């Protein structure tokens, strides 16, 4: 089992296999799909992606020798058991990051929840190769995630010259770290369904977007998505704006999701060349992990 937070550990061995004239098929059917979209998933989608008909697919199943699965910690154990029964003679390489989000479970039933439990936490005696070199972020951004989520163990494998989309256009407090924390004293409003909105923060994002475009940053290089953190896992953009939305946080309340290290790790590791974190800092500092992150950013 390989463990990493980038797709490079998948790309490199597949390229080597292709160079050795091995038959390699790769598909990304589930990338960035929401749960409701996965409910409508059909086996025909596999055939279309692999450019095969049903007969060719069945023959391919018999000859499968190596199965490499990316974002493996998001695969429920029950799903992996189904894969084992289908590809009984294949060798499996599972690539993923156990410090990011586990599979989504829509039930509170202990039995059903356990069947959806991440393989990363119950791998038994399977050999593990821990890969500490990351390629997505600017080295300065990597330092944040390395410190708070990986015990300062990460190394950056990408030269900073290739990650200057923001620093080459905008002057930040630290010219070596493309990161800014923006304090917005907004007001979060809770809907009937329990979600939060913050019009003042949303307007601050709009102003920031206009500034970035005026500085020459292309719109497609900025990631502005109204979605949950788990839907962003596996995605990346050159510049990412993280909106925290919440204000007036009760320090005695349960912040299991908002302060979850796995969620924060995903949210703060999507950017390649620059990241802005927008929120009410006095409210965020009520949560210990957020206070540590904000303090670290302010000291840089």
Residue 57, pLDDT > 90, answer no
Strand partners, 69: 94
Full set of structural domains in the chain with CATH: 2-131 (no CATH), 159-299 (3.40.50.300)
| Candidate ranges 26-30, 38-42, 61-65, 117-121; pick with highest mean pLDDT | 61-65
What secondary structure, in 3-state letters, does the chain show? CEECCCCHHHHHHHHHHHHCCCCCCCCCCCCCCCHHHHCCCCHHHHHHHHCCCHHHHHHHHHCCCEEEECCHHHCEHHHHHHHHHHCCCCEEEEEECCCCCCCCCCCCCHHHHHHCCEHHHCCCCCCCEECCEECCCCHHHHHHHHHHHCCCCCEECCCHHHCCCCCCCCCCCCCCCCEEEEECCCCCEECCCCCEECHHHHHHHHHHHHHHHHCCCCHHHEECCCCCHHHHCCCCEEEEEEECCCCCCCCCCCCCCCCCHHHHHHHCCCEEEEEEEEECHHHHCCCHHHHHHHHHHHHC
Residue 79: pLDDT band with limits 50, 70, 90? confident
Say how many C-beta atoms besides its own lie within 10 A of residue 124's C-beta.
Answer: 5
Position 153 pLDDT exceeds 60: yes
Least Cα distance to 144 among 131, 154, 136, 135 occurs for: 154
Asked if 247 and 196 count as a contact pair (C-beta separation under 8 A), the reply is no
Long-range contacts, stretch 44-47, CB < 8 angstroms, 24+ apart:
none
Check pLDDT > 70 for residue 231: yes
Residue 210 confidence (pLDDT): 92
Q: What does the pLDDT average to over 191-214?
A: 90
| Contacts with 134 (C-beta within 8 Å, 6 or more apart), sequence order | 4, 5, 6, 142, 154, 155, 156, 157
- Ranges 109-118, 150-159, 222-231: which has the least confidence: 109-118
Give residue 38's pLDDT.
Answer: 42
Q: What's the pLDDT score for residue 108? A: 55
At 27 the pLDDT is: 56
> Mean pLDDT over all residues of the chain?
78
Give this prediction's pTM.
0.75
Over the stretch 237-261, which tens digit does the pLDDT of each residue have?
Answer: 899 999 988 888 877 666 666 788 8
Counting other chains too, the contacts that 182-191 makes at CB distance below 8 Å and 24 or more residues apart are: 182/208, 182/276, 182/277, 182/278, 182/279, 183/279, 183/280, 183/281, 184/278, 184/279, 184/280, 185/280, 186/247, 186/280, 187/247, 188/245, 188/246, 188/247, 188/248
- Statement: residue 121 has pLDDT above 80: no
């Amino acid at each position: 089992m390989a463990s990493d937070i980038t797709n490079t550990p998948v790309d490199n061995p597949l390229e080597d296999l292709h160079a050795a004239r091995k038959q390699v098929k790769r598909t990304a059917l589930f990338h960035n799909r929401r749960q409701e979209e996965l409910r409508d998933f059909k086996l025909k989608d596999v055939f279309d992606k692999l450019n095969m008909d049903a007969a060719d697919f069945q023959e391919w199943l018999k000859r499968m020798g190596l199965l490499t699965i990316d974002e493996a910690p998001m695969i429920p154990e029950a799903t992996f058991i189904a894969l084992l029964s289908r590809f009984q003679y294949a060798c499996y390489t599972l690539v993923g990051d156990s410090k990011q989000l586990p599979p989504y479970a829509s039930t509170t039933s202990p039995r059903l929840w356990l069947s959806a439990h991440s393989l990363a936490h119950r791998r038994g005696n399977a050999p593990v190769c821990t890969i500490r070199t990351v390629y997505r972020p600017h080295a300065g951004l990597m330092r944040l995630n390395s410190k708070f989520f990986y015990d300062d163990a990460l190394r950056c494998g990408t030269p900073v010259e290739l990650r200057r989309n923001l620093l080459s256009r905008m002057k930040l407090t630290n010219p070596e770290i493309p990161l800014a924390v923006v304090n917005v004293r907004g007001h979060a409003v809770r809907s009937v369904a329990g979600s939060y909105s913050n019009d003042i923060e949303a307007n601050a994002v709009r102003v920031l977007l206009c500034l970035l475009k005026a500085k020459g940053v292309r719109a497609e290089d900025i990631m502005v998505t109204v979605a949950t953190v788990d839907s962003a896992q596996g995605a990346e953009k050159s510049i990412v704006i993280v909106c925290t939305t919440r204000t007036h946080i009760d320090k005695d309340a349960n912040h299991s999701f908002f302060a979850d290290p796995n969620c924060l790790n995903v949210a703060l590791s999507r950017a390649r060349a620059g990241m802005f974190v927008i929120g009410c800092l006095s409210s965020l500092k009520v949560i210990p992990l957020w206070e540590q992150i904000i303090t670290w950013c302010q000291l840089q």
